[in-house]
Homo-oligomer: A and B are copies of this chain.
Amino acid sequence: MRVFEYPARETWDSLLARPTRDAADLNAIVADVLAQVKKGGDEAVRMFEERFDHVSLDCLAVTPEEMKEAEGLVEAPLREALREAHRNIGRFHAAQRFQTHHVQVTDGVECWQEAKPIQRVGLYIPGGTAPLFSTVLMLATPARIAGCEEIVLCTPPGRDGKVHPAILYAASLAGVNRIFKIGGVQAIGAMAYGTESVPKVYKIFGPGNQFVMCAKQQVSLHDVAIDMPAGPSEVCVLADASSDASFVAADLLSQAEHGRDSQVVLLTTDAAFIPKVQDELAAQLARLPRAEIATESLEHSKIVLLHNEEEMMEMTNRYAPEHLIIETSNYMELAAQVMNAGSVFLGRWTPESAGDYASGTNHTLPTCGYAVAYNGVNLDSFLRKVTFQHITPAGILDIGQTVVEMARGEMLDAHARAMSLRMEKVNRN
């Protein structure tokens, strides 16, 4: 990790800059696949599955038999872990349930919001070397609590045409209705437009490579909502002289192993802590299966030495990290100063991996600095708050003149008349 000692404020933005990707070349490729899926439906999806996932599928849907078979193929300890994680994620998200609260705005004018589930949602779970069953729980559990009627999941099959059993087990645990063996851009297209097999959904959630992300953005322009824009995963750790260097190194590495483009930042006020954490990094890295990926990621990662905690919090908020771990002794004081972050982990006993899997919080979070404007997935992500209002004749008399005055000021006479007609009728009675 590169070390920056007391960098001048003018250099902070460039120091914290994320890598930028030019999506222009992706856009055309992705648009072409999407257009073919829109037009060709299942047949186009099968063709792309053959081309990109190297499988020939008769049936895109996972069958009930495959679901049943999956449970037996997952080892008991992992099944138990998935059940505990599902329970904790459920508890935290269920506590986010919205309570309707009727507001008497003024005499005879009552307004309120009601939470309505998004009826059909689509979850995308990437393939690759490891089965991301944790993301299945993170997305399907709140969707089910929200009351979404149809929860569709797409994930690329292996070359044997099967989906990893732990994905299927997690999906069944969390209440996914239908699972399709479709990956990549074709999965996003299938859920955005609908095909003969795959129902059209109203919102698509989940991570993916840059093709998948680009496809989500393209379909979000007209056809379907998406959870949020995304980029490489990232962590920012705050440490001081009291921090445990082995814990901090482990936390930095748990981000670095995600991918070569993972962003890892350590901010500290203690110069003496830096060599300690570097030694720990070297020692732990040596024993890591994904050492090659983590090493590459650490090469562009940063340790920044700052004068004091004010600077540390200012830099943190300017960076707006996806994950923020505060391992200083006064972590609650610093927590109160957090403005921009996706998810915050407090104290030495709270590693990011707790939230990645099982503490109950969601791990689908804004990266790339999007935390300044977006939050992570939560129960609200699967709901809409619809406003309702009810006005009585007394309410008409209370706000009527205001409405008429403003409507006329905006030269919208029919708006004014919809109110003045009612005012006249109330006054006549």
Contact = CB atoms under 8 A, between A and B. Distances in A.
B105 A349 contact: no
A395 B349 contact: yes
A95 interface: yes
Contacts of A361: 111, 387, 389
Contacts of A418: 247, 250-251, 253-254, 351-353
Interface string A369-385: 01111111010100011
A323 B301 CA distance: 50
Contact of A358 (B118, B253, B399): B399
Interface residues of A, number: 121
A385 B375 contact: yes
A372 B202 contact: yes
B229 A399 contact: no
B105 A91 contact: yes
A103 interface: yes
A289 B380 contact: no
Given A202-B372, A399-B359, A351 B419 contact: yes
B389 A350 contact: yes
A349 B392 contact: yes
Interface in A10-28: none
Nearest to A331: B390
A411 B118 contact: no
A81 B406 contact: yes
Interface string A97-119: 00001010110010101001011
B414 A387 contact: no
A82 interface: yes
Interface stretch (A32-40, A59-67, A332-340): A332-340
Interface in A84-139: 84-85, 88, 91-92, 95-96, 101, 103, 105-106, 109, 111, 113, 116, 118-119, 129-134
B341 A389 contact: no
Nearest to A108: B349
B387 A422 contact: no
A280 to B, nearest CB: 10
Contacts of A319: none
Contacts of A134: 406, 410
Interface in A203-256: 203, 217, 221-222, 224-225, 229, 244, 246-247, 250-251, 253-254, 256
B106 A386 contact: no
A346 interface: yes
Interface string A250-290: 11011011100000000000000000000000001000111
Given A203-B373, A352-B418, 9 more contacts: A85-B406, A116-B340, A133-B410, A250-B421, A290-B411, A349-B396, A354-B399, A371-B386, A375-B384
Interface of A: 77-78, 80-82, 84-85, 88, 91-92, 95-96, 101, 103, 105-106, 109, 111, 113, 116, 118-119, 129-134, 166, 202-203, 217, 221-222, 224-225, 229, 244, 246-247, 250-251, 253-254, 256-258, 284, 288-290, 294, 335, 338-362, 370-376, 378, 380, 384-393, 395-396, 399, 401-403, 405-407, 409-419, 421-422, 425-426
29 contacts: A78-B405, A84-B399, A88-B399, A92-B111, A95-B103, A106-B360, A111-B361, A133-B409, A133-B410, A166-B409, A222-B229, A225-B370, A244-B425, A247-B422, A342-B387, A344-B389, A346-B390, A347-B390, A349-B391, A349-B426, A351-B418, A353-B412, A354-B395, A354-B419, A355-B389, A357-B406, A357-B415, A358-B399, A358-B406
